Amino acid sequence: MLVCIPNVLDPAQLVSVRERLDRANSWVDGRVTAGYQGAPLKFNQQIDEQSDVARACQHIVVSALETNPMFISAVLPNALYPPMFNRYGEGMKFGPHVDGSVRISPRDGRKLRTDVSATLFLTNPDEYDGGELVIEDSYGEHTIKLPAGSMVVYPATSLHQVMPITRGVRTACFFWAQSLIRDDSQRLILYDMDSAIQRLNQTNADEVARRQLIGCYHNLVRQWSDT
């Protein structure tokens, strides 16, 4: 399931994150966190995960995610890997790869299964050329280039790449989530059901029917959840 989520960061949050990243002197070679598969394909920079800049920006992003109903509905997060921040200048890219199945938190050493990958765009499309996120799934290729503050979430099992930058700089936030629902097809069913419930709520549809649907939704979460 691939879902684009608009306006994850509001204008003030976006400015705050961008200003911190633009002033930062803790950019490092992006290959420091790449596995053996990704390292030969990865050519970008990222903020040191342990830096004060990273922690301040992580707090802003996580606070926004915690109150975003579309993100919660699509991902059903159980745990998040601390958001990371990268940038691609001219000639930089990340070739076709699949994200590693397990990440180890730099904070407490806990292992996190990567069910969902997420990219939060921090620069607008007119600020750079190239740099599209290309995701492959059973329906073909999807080329993603979203406005600053918007995010795409997709199964971490997907083959994906960042195309070469030919002008400007592309800055983004990326992270992974371990979902309450491991199976992507089950998450899709629950996301569609929740979206339908929200639309019915807005139209004040039959209250008894809505209550039954809500009960079915939560019973499926109970049945399918890993916890």
The pLDDT tens digits of the residues spanning 44-72 come to 999 999 999 999 999 999 999 999 999 99
Please give the model's pTM, rounded to 2 decimal places. Answer: 0.95
Positions of CATH 2.60.120.620 in the chain: 3-179
Among the listed residues 197, 188, 200, 203, the one whose alpha carbon sits nearest the alpha carbon of residue 216: 197
Structural domain 184-224, CATH architecture: Irregular (4.10)
Positions of CATH 4.10.860 in the chain: 184-224
Structural domain 3-179, CATH architecture: Sandwich (2.60)
Angle at the Cα of 78 (from 74 to 84), degrees rounded to 5? 80
The pLDDT tens digits of the residues spanning 84-143 come to 999 999 999 999 999 999 999 888 889 999 999 999 999 999 999 999 999 999 889 999
Count of CA atoms in the C-beta half-sphere (13 A) of 177: 26
The pLDDT tens digits of the residues spanning 13-44 come to 999 999 999 999 999 998 887 766 667 889 99
